[in-house]
Structure 1
Amino acid sequence: MAQATLTTGDVVKWRGSLHVIAEIQSGNAALCPVLSTRTVRHRADILIEFPDTLHLGLVDGALIRCKPFVFHNACKLTKDGSLSPALLCRMRRAIEREMDARRVEAGVAKYLVR
């Protein structure tokens, strides 16, 4: 059976936990972890609201931590669902805010190209 092609917004399993693909390119994927229980909140966390938690089979109050990390072999990931377009849009905005905050903290101007 052929494996389904992974795209942005897919929920995948890796090491027994769920992650969302924030971006995928050339076999590499930027993943954001899904936290199924309430934990210490980070500024990059977004709440997965009730309809999406039901669709994904998560407990109410689950979070997506919008601090992506790179996974170098995306073909090893298994798809477990996908985000709604509205939640995917919220996740992308949260990632952009987090990246802007990191730039400010690092002292790098937003539009400076290195």
Structure 2
Amino acid sequence: MDNGIGVQMMGVFSTAPAIRHTASNIFGEAMGTGVLVFCVLSHSKVEFVPGLQPAIVGMLIIIIVLSLGGTTGAALNPARDLAPRIAHAILPIPNKGNSDWGYAWIPVFAPILGGLVAAGIFIVLP
């Protein structure tokens, strides 16, 4: 990806890795989404004070992004990265740079993998 304003413009639309290492990027995205899915599924079995559930999920997302989002930007959701990346590719913005399609599969594939693994673990646990 080019340096300068194109990289900054891409950051407005979608995530980009701070460290471009495929295995660690996949692990970080899968782990973040897996933790999110597992915790949300676990919280669905617990009674909370009415209205507290959204605050807990919001704090959970903040914790995940701050702890696991440093290397990849923490997409955590394929739609969070793919749709804005498509918009970046389509919109006629001057000096926008490329849309980094070589990396685009990681924030799509890894969260799906992490969510499936977390849901499977949740189902298997008593």
User: Normalization by structure 2: what TM-score?
Assistant: 0.28
Higher CA-based Rg: 2
More helix by share: 2
User: Normalization by structure 1: what TM-score?
Assistant: 0.30
Higher relative contact order (CA 8 A, sep 6+): 2
More strand by share: 1
